[in-house]
Amino acid sequence: MFEIRLIVRTAHLLAAAAWVGGLFRRMVNICVGVLLLSGAYLMFDRLTTTSLGWPYLTVLGIKIIAALGMFVLAIYLGQSNIRRLAKRTSRFSKAAPQLMLALGILVFLLGALLNGMFEATLAPT
Ligand code: HEM
């Protein structure tokens, strides 16, 4: 249904912007939950609506792997206070926030690219 699709898409975009933009630090868990659920819905919707070729599937695969990397990093960063207390700062723990932002921008751009590819398949030829 068109309306549900629009609501889920908006939720996905808002959660992505809020998370990558670093807004609402306390809402990270909600953002991640919304992104996973709406992402799964969008994926199912896209793959059943029209026939998308391997370029779409490849980009989607990279996006999902990068998004999973972000989720793992978010869990890691959530524990970093304990690590800091334990004085176990490593090069990785210092680079983690930047890596997270870089992945966030990448996933955001890949999402926009996917949307462009999807809409191109709908355009009348
Ligand atoms: C495993 C988790 C995720 C899955 C399965 C997923 C899946 C998807 C799918 C299928 C689309 C639709 C592309 C299209 O229109 O054809 C999409 C769009 C998008 N995704 Fe995700 N996504 C996930 C996580 C994320 C994360 C973490 C971010 C942000 C950092 C993000 C940002 C976006 C953006 C910006 C769009 C474009 C939305 C639009 O133009 O309507 N996604 N995603």
Ligand 1 within 6 A of CB of 104: yes
Same domain, 66 and 83: yes
Ligand 1 within 6 A of CB of 46: yes
Test site for ligand 1: of 35, 36, 41, most ligand atoms within 8 A of the Cβ: 35
Ligand 1 within 6 A of CB of 40: yes
> pLDDT 10s per residue in the chain (125 long)?
668 999 999 999 999 999 988 886 778 889 999 999 999 999 999 999 888 889 999 999 999 999 999 999 988 888 766 666 666 678 888 888 899 999 999 999 999 999 999 999 987 75
Contact 44/63 with Cβ under 8 angstroms?
A: no
Same domain, 67 and 115: yes
Distance of CA 80 to the CA centre of its chain: 22
Task: Tell me which residue has its CA closest to atom 2 in ligand 1.
Answer: 36
Same domain, 69 and 82: yes
Q: Is the pTM of this model over 0.85?
A: yes
Residue 56 — left, alpha, or beta (φ > 0 → left; ψ -120 to 50 → alpha)? Answer: alpha
Overall domain count for the chain: 2
Task: Tell me which residue has its CA closest to atom 33 in ligand 1.
Answer: 111
Same domain, 112 and 64: yes
- Domain's final residue, options 49, 66, 87: 49
Task: Tell me which residue has its CA closest to atom 3 in ligand 1.
Answer: 39
What does the radius of gyration of the chain's CA atoms come to, in whole angstroms?
Answer: 17
Range of 100's domain?
Answer: 53-125
90 φ/ψ angles, rounded to the nearest 5 degrees: -115, 175
Q: Which of 30, 38, 32 is nearest to 12 (CA)?
A: 38
